[in-house]
Structure 1
Amino acid sequence: MPRAGFYTVESGKISFRRDGNWYSDDERIDNPRIALLFSQSIKRNPDGSYYLQVAEERASITVEDTPYVVKALEDDELGGFTIVLNDDTREPLDPAALEVGNANVLYARVKGGDARARFLRSAYYHLSDHFESDDGGRFFVILKGHRYPLGDTPASNA
């Protein structure tokens, strides 16, 4: 009897794309339990590449932009937000750590500042009610009575 594990999917190319979905070759993985398992199993090699590790099984993956996405925002009842990531973890939104990347994509620093998470459209629109601009064309997010500038993203995809 063959061992259970990644041997069935290892033959395909597994990727996490900027739309927040997992793919095997070019077919989207629609099973939410598998997608969650994959999102909770992401690890990073010292060279910056990524892999999945479930028990002792490992499979190389391609991460198109970031290994995490902000899939939702929850009001924290204190005037701020809690972000919900694709691995179902929740973290307080740090408005000072928001960054704007290419094509005006919004990112947040997550996992203690060790990683970035790309905002999916629904989360971005939820937060956009708190955006403001000044006469100089600079944008800010207003939370808890404070105004936080939206800075440019550094070149790193960390």
Structure 2
Amino acid sequence: MTMDHQDVANPLKGLGQARSAGGRPPVHLWNPPFCGNIDMRIAADGTWYYLNSPIGRKPLVQLFASVLRREPDGSYCLVTPVERVGIKVEDAPFTAVRMQLSGTGDAQTICFETNVEDRVTVGSGHPLRFAEEAGTGGLKPYVLVRPGLEALVTRALFYDLVAAGSVCEDWFGVWSSGEFFAMQKASDIGVGV
């Protein structure tokens, strides 16, 4: 793809033509120079801010989300073919805001929709992980949305996940797409003992 003067002045121009097969720009293929950090952050609740003001236009948030990438050092960047800028992410870049369950037991399937309307089915390509919450000892569930980019499962949906859980080999967790995602030792929480 050749860049003319207008493309350099507006690096977002042409993103519509540069979509990958998954419908998103192929940010994993782009290696533009790092141009520094900008005053943009994603709060722990999934709200995007620019210059400390929330970005209220969902299509704009979705555009930014489509060019978000996690770097090998763990930082987050917005990437275009001509520049890469750092942003701050307080927890996970996305939140899982809707969940759909189908089936039961090991034939159960869990699908999530994020706050930027990505849809994923929990399984080997989109695993669930459970991290200990700092200060409380509680669990925080995350689902992988894209390589390096996770969604924090909202507290309300976490309760629904627990309700759909079962015990497998002394672990309490949930099944999805034929895989078991362990939350906690069943004996530690007094389940199935």
Partner of 2:157: 123
Matching residue's letter, 1:98: R
1:65-112, CA deviations, whole angstroms, 9 ceiling, x for partnerless residues? 123332221234563211223443322224974313214322234436
Distance apart, 1:30 and its partner CA: 1.4
Larger Rg belongs to: 2
Partner of 1:68: 94
Matching residue's letter, 2:97: K
1:99-151, CA deviations, whole angstroms, 9 ceiling, x for partnerless residues? 13214322234436x44431123432432322468xxxx97234479975304
Partner of 1:141: 173
Structure 1 stretches of 5 or more lacking a match? 153-158
Partner of 1:29: 55
Distance apart, 1:23 and its partner CA: 0.7
RMSD value, Cα: 3.8
1:31-56, CA deviations, whole angstroms, 9 ceiling, x for partnerless residues? 11111111121112332211112453
Distance apart, 1:20 and its partner CA: 0.9
The TM-score, its normalising length taken from structure 2, stands at 0.56
Partner of 2:142: 107
CA gap 1:131/1:88 in 2 versus in 1, 3 angstroms: same
Query: Given that residues 107 and 117 in structure 1 are in contact (C-alpha distance below 8 angstroms), is that contact kept between their aligned partners in structure 2?
Result: yes
CA gap 1:143/1:28 in 2 versus in 1, 3 angstroms: same
Matching residue's letter, 1:89: D
CA gap 1:117/1:11 in 2 versus in 1, 3 angstroms: closer
Query: Given that residues 70 and 83 in structure 1 are in contact (C-alpha distance below 8 angstroms), is that contact kept between their aligned partners in structure 2?
Result: yes
The TM-score, its normalising length taken from structure 1, stands at 0.66
Matching residue's letter, 1:107: Y
Distance apart, 1:62 and its partner CA: 0.5
- SS of 1:39's partner is helix
Matching residue's letter, 1:141: G
Q: Kindly, what percent of the aligned residue pairs are identical?
A: 22
CA gap 1:121/1:30 in 2 versus in 1, 3 angstroms: farther
